[in-house]
C-alpha cells in the first residue's frame, strides 16, 4: 500500500509542477478533439489533426499580436491533448 501512495504522491507532485498555461493548452486540445470525435463524428485519425490545426491557429494569432510569442511547447501541449482523445477513440 505504501508503494501505491508513493506513486500517487510523485504523480501529484509532477502534475503540480506543470505550468498552468500548458495544462490549459492540453485541455483545449482534448476538448477540440472530443468535439470532432463525438459531435461531428470524425474518425479517430482526424481528432489529433484538428487539435494540431487549432494549436497552430492559436500560436499564429499569438505571433501576430506579439512578434516572438510563438511557443512550440504550447503547440505540443495542445496536440498531446488531442492525441490522448484520439487514443481513447481508438480504444473505444
* Residue 57 belongs to some domain of the structure: yes
Q: Which domain holds residue 27?
A: 20-91
- Could you tell me the pLDDT band of residue 2, with boundaries at 50, 70 and 90? confident
Query: What's the domain count of the chain?
Result: 1
Give the CB-side neighbour count of residue 76, counting CA atoms within 13 A. 3
| Burial of 82 per CB tally in 10 Å (0-12, 13-18, 19+) | buried
Residue 63 lies in a domain: yes
For residues 82 and 13, give the distance between their C-alpha atoms in angstroms, rounded to a whole number.
24
Q: What is the pLDDT of residues 15-68, one digit of tens each?
A: 889 899 999 999 999 999 988 888 887 676 788 889 999 999 999 999 999 999
Whether 78 is in a domain gets the answer yes
pTM: 0.81
Which contacts qualify for 66-74: CB closer than 8 Å, 24 or more apart? 73/22, 74/21, 74/22, 74/25
Amino acid at each position: 500500500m505504501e508503494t501505491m501512495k508513493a506513486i500517487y504522491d510523485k504523480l501529484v507532485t509532477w502534475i503540480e509542477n506543470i505550468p498552468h498555461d500548458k495544462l490549459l493548452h492540453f485541455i483545449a486540445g482534448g476538448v477540440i478533439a472530443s468535439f470532432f470525435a463525438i459531435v461531428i463524428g470524425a474518425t479517430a485519425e482526424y481528432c489529433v489533426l484538428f487539435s494540431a490545426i487549432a494549436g497552430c491557429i492559436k500560436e499564429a494569432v499569438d505571433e501576430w499580436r506579439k512578434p516572438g510569442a510563438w511557443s512550440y511547447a504550447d503547440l505540443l501541449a495542445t496536440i498531446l491533448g488531442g492525441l490522448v482523445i484520439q487514443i481513447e477513440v481508438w480504444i473505444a
